Amino acid sequence: DSGVTQTPKHLITATGQRVTLRCSPRSGDLSVYWYQQSLDQGLQFLIQYYNGEERAKGNILERFSAQQFPDLHSELNLSSLELGDSALYFCASSDTSGPSTDTQYFGPGTRLTVL
Amino acid sequence: AQTVTQSQPEMSVQEAETVTLSCTYDTSESDYYLFWYKQPPSRQMILVIRQEAYKQQNATENRFSVNFQKAAKSFSLKISDSQLGDAAMYFCFLSGTYKYIFGTGTRLKVLA
């Protein structure tokens, strides 16, 4: 158990809908990262937050957005969902904010299925 | 641009034997970290080992060790005394300046 929690474990929804994935980092970690794992794109970094502020952006679509709240939990919002958004979404956390971050600890993931 | 390449989609090893998974990377940065993560069928991402780029000494964690060749930009993982529980996808991961890149993974099969 990494100490990172994600809810829900599974999510099934229809095209065009909007969903919110939630992540709680390890105790004391200020950085949260979101990744998408799909069959065709592999594991891709989406976005990083540090202590409530956006720190880095990867291949995140405009339909996707994220935020980190004062209690440090983070939410990833996916809207206008398409079939291709079906994937496993991971959250990770670390206790560093520097540009070359140290170890990231991963949550169990949320499996999103778009029908 | 940073890249990570794992050229072995699949590897097999006999139980108790040793196997080496390859990873090459490209980055123009001098300060970065390299990791190997394991993803078993449960899909959980589990940290196996980490290496700081500024350290010349190769990292070791029990049966897992790396061969870090900075000039060649190579970062291979050696698993000794392979166990059935080592069967999983293994991902090489480069953490640079606000850039985080995974390789495509190597599926490791352990034969009894």
Over residues A32-46, the pLDDT tens digits come to 999 999 988 889 999
CA–CA dist A75, A107 (Å, integer):
13
What pLDDT, on the 0 to 100 scale, is given for residue A98?
A: 60
Could you check whether the bond before residue A8 is cis, i.e. omega within 30 degrees of 0?
Answer: yes
With a pLDDT cut of 90, the percent of chain B lying above it is 86
Q: Largest alpha-carbon pair distance within chain B?
A: 42
Q: Which of residues 23-62 of A touch B (CB under 8 A)?
A: 33, 35, 42-45, 48, 55-56, 58
Q: Can you say how many angstroms the Cα of residue A56 is from the centroid of all Cα atoms in its chain?
A: 13
pLDDT band at A48, cuts 50/70/90? very high
What pLDDT, on the 0 to 100 scale, is given for residue A100?
A: 58
In chain A, what residues touch B105 (CB-CB under 8 Å)? 42-43
Q: Does A105 contact B98 at a Cβ distance shorter than 8 Å? A: no
Q: Does B45 contact A102 at a Cβ distance shorter than 8 Å? A: no
Q: Between B89 and A98, where is the model more confident?
A: B89
pLDDT under 50: residue ranges of chain B = none
Residue of B31, B37, B46 with shortest CB distance to A100? B31
Q: Does A43 contact B35 at a Cβ distance shorter than 8 Å? A: no
Q: Which long-range contacts (CB under 8 A, 24 or more apart) does B49-56 make?
A: B49/B77, B50/A102, B50/A103, B51/B75, B54/B30
Does the pLDDT value for residue A99 go beyond 80? no
| Closest by Cα among A18, A16, A20 to A91 | A20
| A35 min Cα distance to partner chain B (Å) | 10
What pLDDT, on the 0 to 100 scale, is given for residue B1?
A: 83
Q: Is the distance from CB of A74 to CB of A25 less than 8 angstroms? A: yes
Q: What is the residue-averaged pLDDT of chain A?
A: 93
| B20 min Cα distance to partner chain A (Å) | 22
Q: Between B30 and A89, where is the model more confident?
A: A89
A100-108 average pLDDT score: 85
